[in-house]
Amino acid sequence: MFFGPLPLRELEGAILAHSVRRGSVSFKKGRVLSAEDVTALRDAGLTTVTVAKPGPDDVGEDAAAARIAAALKGQEITIGAAFTGRVNLFAESRGLFVPDVERICALNLIDESVTVATLPAFAAVEPGQMVATVKIIPFAAPRGAVEGAEVEASAGMSALRVAPFRPLTAALIQTRLPGVKDSVLDKTVSVTRERLEAMGGRLVRDSRCYHGEAALADAIAAAGRVDLLLIAGASAITDRRDVLPSGIERAGGVIEHFGMPVDPGNLLLLARIGETPVLGLPGCARSPKLNGFDWVLQRIAAGIPVTRTDVMRMGVGGLLAEIPSRPLPRSGAVAVEPPRAPRIAALVLAAGRSSRMGGSNKLLADVGGEPLVVRTVESVLASQAKPVVVVTGHMAEAVSAPLAGRPLTIVHNPSFADGLSASLRAGLAALPADVDGVVVCLGDMPRVTPQAIDRLIAAYNPLEGRTVCVPTVHGKRGNPVLWDRGFFAEMAKLSGDAGAKTLLATHADQVIEVPVEDGGILYDVDTPELLAELRG
User: Which tens digit of pLDDT belongs to each residue from 265-290?
Assistant: 999 999 999 999 999 999 999 999 99
Give residue 338's pLDDT. 67
How would you label 261-280 residue by residue, b for 16+ Cβ within 10 Å and e otherwise? ebebbbbbbbbebeebbbbb
User: Could you tell me where the DSSP H helices lie in 282-419?
Assistant: 292-301, 308-312, 372-381, 396-400
Burial of 23 (0-12, 13-18, 19+ CB in 10 A): exposed
Give residue 325's pLDDT. 46
Q: Please report, for the chain, how many H helices and E strands are present, in that order.
A: 16, 30
Closest among 211, 312, 305 to 259, alpha carbons compared: 312
Give residue 322's pLDDT. 56
- Residue 190's contacts (CB-CB under 8 Å, 6 or more residues apart) are none
Give residue 525's pLDDT. 84
The answer to whether residues 308 and 257 touch, using CB atoms and an 8 Å cutoff, is yes
- Residue 321's contacts (CB-CB under 8 Å, 6 or more residues apart) are 263, 264
Q: Kind and range of the H or E element at 26? A: strand 25-27
User: Could you tell me where the DSSP H helices lie in 482-527?
Assistant: 488-492, 501-506
Kindly state the percentage of the chain with pLDDT values over 70.
95
Instruction: List, for residues 418-461, the tens digit of each pLDDT value.
Output: 989 999 999 999 999 999 999 999 999 999 999 999 999 999 98
Mean pLDDT of the chain: 92
The answer to whether residues 53 and 14 touch, using CB atoms and an 8 Å cutoff, is yes
Q: Report the distance separating Cα 408 and Cα 128, nearest Å.
A: 20
Q: Kind and range of the H or E element at 446? A: none
Q: Report the distance separating Cα 430 and Cα 283, nearest Å.
A: 50
**Residue 225, phi then psi, degrees to nearest 5:** -85, 120
Whole-prediction pTM: 0.83
Give residue 52's pLDDT. 95
The answer to whether residues 18 and 50 touch, using CB atoms and an 8 Å cutoff, is yes
The answer to whether residues 101 and 160 touch, using CB atoms and an 8 Å cutoff, is no
**Residue 377, phi then psi, degrees to nearest 5:** -65, -40
Q: With a cut of 70, which residues of the chain have pLDDT below it?
A: 321-338, 355-359
Q: Report the distance separating Cα 536 and Cα 534, nearest Å.
A: 5
**Residue 236, phi then psi, degrees to nearest 5:** -65, 145
Give residue 356's pLDDT. 67
Give residue 330's pLDDT. 41
| Three-state SS letters, 451-489 | HHHHHHHHHCEHHHCECEEEEEECCEECCCEEEEHHHHH
The answer to whether residues 493 and 506 touch, using CB atoms and an 8 Å cutoff, is no
Q: Report the distance separating Cα 273 and Cα 227, nearest Å.
A: 11
Q: Report the distance separating Cα 210 and Cα 177, nearest Å.
A: 6
Kindly give the interhelix angle for 243-250 and 213-221, rounded to the nearest 10 degrees.
50
The answer to whether residues 288 and 330 touch, using CB atoms and an 8 Å cutoff, is yes
DSSP state of 520: G
Q: How far is CA 73 from the centre of its chain?
A: 13
Burial of 533 (0-12, 13-18, 19+ CB in 10 A): exposed
Q: Report the distance separating Cα 3 and Cα 16, nearest Å.
A: 10
Q: How long is the chain? A: 536
